[in-house]
Amino acid sequence: MCWKLLSRGATSAELHTLFQSPEEGWQLYTSAQAPDGKCICTAVIPAQSTCARDGRSRELRQLMEKVQNVSQSMEVLELRTYRDLQYVRSMETLMRNLDARLRAADGSLSAKSFQELKDRMTELLPLSSVLEQYKADTRTIVRLREEVRNLSSSLAAIQEEMGAYGYEDLQQRVMALEARLHACAQKLGCGKLTGVSNPITIRAMGSRFGSWMTDTMAPSADSRVWYMDGYYKGRRVLEFRTLGDFIKGQNFIQHLLPQPWAGTGHVVYNGSLFYNKYQSNVVVKYHFGSRSVLVQRSLPGAGYNNTFPYSWGGFSDMDFMVDESGLWAVYTTNQNAGNIVVSRLDPHTLEVMRSWDTGYPKRSAGEAFMICGVLYVTNSHLAGAKVYFAYFTNTSSYEYTDVPFHNQYSHISMLDYNPRERALYTWNNGHQVLYNVTLFHVISTAGDP
């Protein structure tokens, strides 16, 4: 076969394109057949400068995607900041009203009662500085959003021109913005659970037990919902395009898992489903895009097959969760005498990175969820439940809590926190229910010890 090499820009009216590589810009043409029967082909290669730009064009596209992800994260962060700011402002108003009432009632209260109220008021005074800090952080987010908008415009202009001028500078700006956003998200996005809203019923569908969820790592535009009915031997996962489609029961596809699940403690994280393989202590990572199992691994010593379930049973020995810091597994071992163990998992290999023994008996827990590295446990799966126990992995300490939790349909078999939406997903006696949560974070100010 004979080949003819032309530079970019060469033209021929009789050439017919056979193949074009989108990665390198090469094109292969054929024009005629030689007298000896050989095919005469023409390969048109891109100019050297174009090749250089192609590589950087791909990198520019990647930068554009990063900027879009930052922008989407900032939308969520701004909403969180607004909610927290409203909460702190209402607290400030209450403090001012209390202070005014104390001044007015100075002579009508006993000395002991007045001193007790005054001491309580002194304890609340630091909230004023917290409010000022939240206001400053809100202004910071506004500035960050403006920088992201300017950077996005610059990247779009350069991408349109297919040039590479100022690329390194733009890359550094993107990295700096990502670092600042991450720090800001850690500062404002996490906090101590102080309240759970009234339930919001999304739909009544399926049996008494099951699970439903969205991907905690998906961008805000991706609102797919996954639905898994039943608590053992199931293999069918329904994927709905949007929450609206889930409510209407339309526009869904079906995934058939190669291995059945046990329990309802499944979670979708970065495009993959993590679940407990039936009658084993094996963790399975199933990728929805490729419809295949990427990795599976035994969780060392973990009980299974209703050995250490939650109080409601249902093969709930192993519960997988995702919070702001990553993937977690909640389970129990014989060595821990039936107490809840929390382990941080590597989402790629499923290896245990670190474990904590909480000291709380798993059979006494209704359900559990992770927020900002803190495991919260309810004292029952039935009516009258409340968030009763909290274990802090950052300090390896615990405390008993008293956060009301309205169990509307009287039998919760799945409870998970979604950090992207800052909401609790529950399956309650055949109902798919959401709860909003209130997180409070006291920010240290200058001069604090």
- What does pTM read for this prediction? 0.62
Q: How confident is the model at residue 91 (pLDDT cuts 50, 70, 90)?
A: confident
Report whether 260 contacts 277 (CB < 8 A): yes
> Which pLDDT score is estimated for 103?
72
For residue 15, give the DSSP letter. Answer: -
Which of 93-97, 131-135, 144-148 has the least mean pLDDT?
131-135
pLDDT at 299 over 90: yes
**Residue 133 domain boundaries:** 56-189
pLDDT at 278 over 70: yes
**Same domain assignment for residues 61 and 101:** yes
The answer to the question of residue 32 being in a domain is no
The sign one gets for the Cα dihedral 78, 81, 87, 90 is: negative
The answer to the question of residue 48 being in a domain is no
CATH number reported for the structural domain that contains residue 366 in this entry: 2.120.10.30
The answer to the question of residue 335 being in a domain is yes
Per-residue pLDDT reduced to its tens digit, 169-213: 666 766 766 666 555 555 556 889 999 999 999 999 999 999 999
pLDDT at 260 over 80: yes
Per-residue pLDDT reduced to its tens digit, 412-430: 999 999 998 889 999 999 9
pLDDT at 49 over 50: no
For residue 279, give the DSSP letter. Answer: T
Distance CA 166, CA 53 (A): 13
Taking the CA atoms of residue 245, residue 251, residue 253 and residue 254 in that order, the dihedral angle to the nearest 10 degrees is: 60
**Same domain assignment for residues 184 and 226:** no
> Which pLDDT score is estimated for 147?
77
Distance CA 139, CA 78 (A): 10
Report whether 194 contacts 232 (CB < 8 A): no
pLDDT at 8 over 50: no
pLDDT at 373 over 70: yes
**Same domain assignment for residues 175 and 298:** no
The answer to the question of residue 13 being in a domain is no
Tell me the sheet residues that pair with 210.
Answer: 229
> Which pLDDT score is estimated for 211?
98
**Same domain assignment for residues 154 and 246:** no
**Same domain assignment for residues 260 and 396:** yes
pLDDT at 26 over 90: no
Query: Which whole-number Å values give the CA distances from 265 to 108, 122, 143, 170, 417, in the listed order?
Result: 56, 44, 40, 42, 11
The answer to the question of residue 408 being in a domain is yes
Q: How confident is the model at residue 19 (pLDDT cuts 50, 70, 90)?
A: very low
pLDDT at 165 over 80: no
Instruction: Give the residue-averaged pLDDT of 383-394.
Output: 94
**Same domain assignment for residues 232 and 176:** no
Instruction: Give the residue-averaged pLDDT of 116-145.
Output: 71
Per-residue pLDDT reduced to its tens digit, 27-43: 433 334 444 444 444 44
Distance CA 410, CA 199 (A): 12
Distance CA 264, CA 427 (A): 9
- Number of H helices and number of E strands within the chain? 5, 24
pLDDT at 387 over 80: yes
Domain count, the chain: 2
> Which pLDDT score is estimated for 294?
97
Per-residue pLDDT reduced to its tens digit, 329-360: 999 999 999 999 999 999 999 999 999 999 99
